[in-house]
Amino acid sequence: MKKVAILGALLALSGCVQVDNYHNVVKAQAPAGLAGYWQSAGPQSAMVSPEAIATLVITPQGDTLDCRQWQRVIALPGKLMKQGDDFYNVTNKLDVYDIDSDGGRIKYDRMTLKRVDRPTLECADYLQKNPLASPLP
């Protein structure tokens, strides 16, 4: 029993973020400079193929869309969550990804994304058919 308690304390101190219920996540507003469209720049080792593209959409109100495409489009709506000074994207499938902003680039799910003017056509098509709860940037 003591081992379980110690393991739980270590996990709590390690900074791991776990979400058990998407509907209980409190949506945070995007800080200045984070709202917008972000896209992978060139091949990313975290992606399945060099031709794969990742797009992250963040609205000022904190709604998100994680849109990845290679041979098909996989799009997961989500929410921006703040814990301490850190921001995370929590998808409706309970995936939690840290977002580290560095000016015109962000680190997201082991990828580097750069700011772009608009999402890819495939992600824009998904957004048109499945709009986010708040307006796009």
Cα–Cα distances in Å, from 58 out to 3, 6, 43? 40, 37, 22
Asked if the structure places residue 135 within a domain, the reply is: no
Gyration radius (Cα) of the chain, Å: 16
Closest C-alpha to 115, from 38, 11, 62: 38
Closest C-alpha to 99, from 79, 123, 119, 124: 79
Q: What is the model's pLDDT at position 54?
A: 94
Q: What CATH number is attached to the domain comprising 58?
A: 2.40.128.500
Instruction: Give Dmax over CA atoms of the chain in angstroms.
Output: 54
Q: What is the model's pLDDT at position 84?
A: 94
Asked if the structure places residue 81 within a domain, the reply is: yes
User: Please, which residues bridge with residue 73 across strands?
Assistant: 69
Asked if the structure places residue 119 within a domain, the reply is: yes
Asked if the structure places residue 137 within a domain, the reply is: no
Asked if the structure places residue 68 within a domain, the reply is: yes
- Asked which of 1-5, 96-100, 110-114 is least confident by mean pLDDT, the reply is 1-5
b/e map 102-130, b = 16+ CB within 10 Å: eeeebebbebbbeeeeebbebbbebbeee
Q: Provide the residue type at 34 as one letter.
A: L
Asked if the structure places residue 6 within a domain, the reply is: no
Asked if the structure places residue 60 within a domain, the reply is: yes
Domain count, the chain: 1
Asked whether residue 124 carries a pLDDT value surpassing 60, the answer given is: yes
**Tokens of residue 103, six digits:** 């000016």
Domain that holds residue 43: 21-129
Q: What is the model's pLDDT at position 52?
A: 87
pLDDT band for position 6 (cuts 50, 70, 90): very low
Asked if the structure places residue 4 within a domain, the reply is: no
